[in-house]
Amino acid sequence: MAHKALFASASTSTPANTTNEAGGRGYAFSAEHALAQYAATGTFNHTFYAQADEQLAKVLELVGQVDPRFVAQLAVYTREKGLMKDMPAFLTAYLAAKDVRLLASVFPRVIDSGKMLRNFVQIVRSGTVGRKSFGSAPKRLARAWFSSRTPEAIFRQSLGSAPSIADVIKMVRPSPKNADGQADVAREAFYGYLIGKDVAHEKLPASVQAFESFKKNGGELPDVPFEMLTALDLDTDRWMAIARRMSWTQLRMNLNTLLRHGVFRDESMVSFVAAKLRDPELVRRARVFPFQLLAAFKAASSEMPSAVVMALQEAMEIAIENVPTVPGKIFLCPDVSGSMQSAATGFRKGATSAVRCIDIAALVSAAFLRKNTSAEVIPFSDDVVPMPRRLNPLDSVMTNADFLANLPSGGTACSAPLRHLNERRAAGDLVIYISDNMSWADFSRRPSSHLGFLSRVSGRATVMSEEWDAFRRRNPKARLVLIDIQPYASTQMHDRDDVLNVGGVSDSVFDVISTFAKGELAAEHWVGAIKSVSLA
């Protein structure tokens, strides 16, 4: 019989059509999918393989290749479903230069806070999207933003600079009338106050009066965002009062600040904060991402009371409720390679997250394992990474995520888990990868015997594609999901009926995976879900 390794059957996998940023073979996303990938995962910061200006150049290239309607739908999707900030603001600013009708349809939904308004203004003024000046349509929409909010609401969202809300007011000159078109003395005085005019104290909104009085005379703590008070000299009692007023999200983000100001020396405050953090309704209402809880858990000081740390873990169990329970055998493949050690939101001086890509891959794997206890976890770098022990699905998500994130690292070979399964002749229904998809080391290990030597050197398909086709021959109903957590424009497996590429780690990703696993997702998969966004 002829030598099987030398005379293996020609691969039927689709030829690769691009080289990824790591130098490996890959499949280029369509312009729509690539733009969605950048919008769902990008923050215009440096990543392991790309600089911030390269990301911006790529996004500018992609928005010019797609229909403006898709840009509008993507802006809404990434803001409402993905809770992104910079990218939705950028896409909305692009529409200000491209299609003001579409701009008007998405502006109220995307520019939904003072932070988002300032982002939008900053991007337009930069000239990056093709215009530096505010035309009549953007000004009209910005004025409507102000008129639809009370002065008290605007005051609470007036934090931040470059530009500040005062800068925006000077630029768009919102009317001092209220939403009904009636003269509003408090609103007129408030706008004057923000831009530095001398106004009568008694004409200001009550919350502003209380804030200014407190700065001058002390007394009762005003009901204002606590960030407005942090520059003042406050004692521990004041900080405890602030803690009691904080929203769930503010508590989650400022635990170390409260610790530093002595709040947790009072046992009643420890109990109060812990109870609030673990409150199921508050966790759901906050729409917290699991990785945000992981960030709080990792950032917590070693002196943080154990009850507060435990409450973060209990909140995590609530936050992963949307992780789907999928029938059948599941394999979870977190990428633990070197590039995954980079910050999840990229690098920017003074704004780099402590959460790494590997932390997110480990967290998503642990969350799926928690909801699908028979799943098998197969971490990989340039090969499958052996685990010193088997993960216990009943351990906390935080515990299992920390274990996976500290496994040995190496290069990236996305084909490794599938090769491992093929060599075992494993049966399975769903394989989930959590990776940056920057595979380049697939040839550093011997390919599976069923692929032969020719497939390794043919220069055709990615090795992962060939391994998946081999897996599917044994498991014809199996499905593959690639969760990409970095903004790049290629993948190791192109979309097809049995393959889903999806970007980001929001609840919407879990919803898409659940629908895909049931065989209910229409053509184009994730892009199709974005195109279903109504712009009415």
**Coil vs helix vs strand at 124:** helix
Measured between alpha carbons, how far is 434 from 115 in angstroms, rounded to an integer?
Answer: 30
Instruction: Supply the angle between the helices 267-277 and 306-319 in degrees, to the nearest 10.
Output: 10
pLDDT surpassing 50 at residue 454: no
E-assigned strand segments in 293-378:
330-334, 376-377
Q: How confident is the model at residue 49 (pLDDT cuts 50, 70, 90)?
A: very low
Measured between alpha carbons, how far is 288 from 248 in angstroms, rounded to an integer?
Answer: 10
Q: How confident is the model at residue 443 (pLDDT cuts 50, 70, 90)?
A: low
pLDDT surpassing 70 at residue 243: yes
* Length, in residues, of the chain: 536
Measured between alpha carbons, how far is 187 from 167 in angstroms, rounded to an integer?
Answer: 16
Q: How confident is the model at residue 456 (pLDDT cuts 50, 70, 90)?
A: very low
Residues 121 and 163: beta-carbon distance below 8 Å: yes
Name the more confident of 453 and 233.
233
Q: How confident is the model at residue 523 (pLDDT cuts 50, 70, 90)?
A: low
Measured between alpha carbons, how far is 274 from 276 in angstroms, rounded to an integer?
Answer: 5
In this predicted structure, what is the pLDDT of residue 457?
38
Please return the burial class of 100, using the count of CB atoms within 10 Å of its CB with bins 0-12, 13-18 and 19+.
Answer: middle
pLDDT in tens, 415-438: 999 999 999 999 999 999 999 888
The stretch 330-340 carries a mean pLDDT of 93
In this predicted structure, what is the pLDDT of residue 38?
84
The single-letter DSSP state of residue 103 is H
Whether this prediction's pTM lies above 0.75 is answered by yes
Name the percent of the chain lying above pLDDT 70: 90
In this predicted structure, what is the pLDDT of residue 218?
83
Least confidently predicted of 34-43, 208-217, 298-307, 355-364: 34-43
Mean pLDDT of the chain: 86
Residues 33 and 527: beta-carbon distance below 8 Å: yes
**What's the token pair of residue 216?**
């001058």
Least confidently predicted of 26-35, 48-57, 65-74, 413-422: 48-57
Sequence-distant (6+) residues with CB within 8 A of 172 are: 134, 139, 142, 143, 146
In the chain, the domains with their CATH numbers are 18-24+326-531 (3.40.50.410), 84-156+160-222 (no CATH)
In this predicted structure, what is the pLDDT of residue 302?
94
The stretch 166-178 carries a mean pLDDT of 89
In this predicted structure, what is the pLDDT of residue 346?
60
pLDDT surpassing 90 at residue 527: no
Measured between alpha carbons, how far is 23 from 340 in angstroms, rounded to an integer?
Answer: 16
In this predicted structure, what is the pLDDT of residue 248?
95
pLDDT surpassing 70 at residue 491: yes
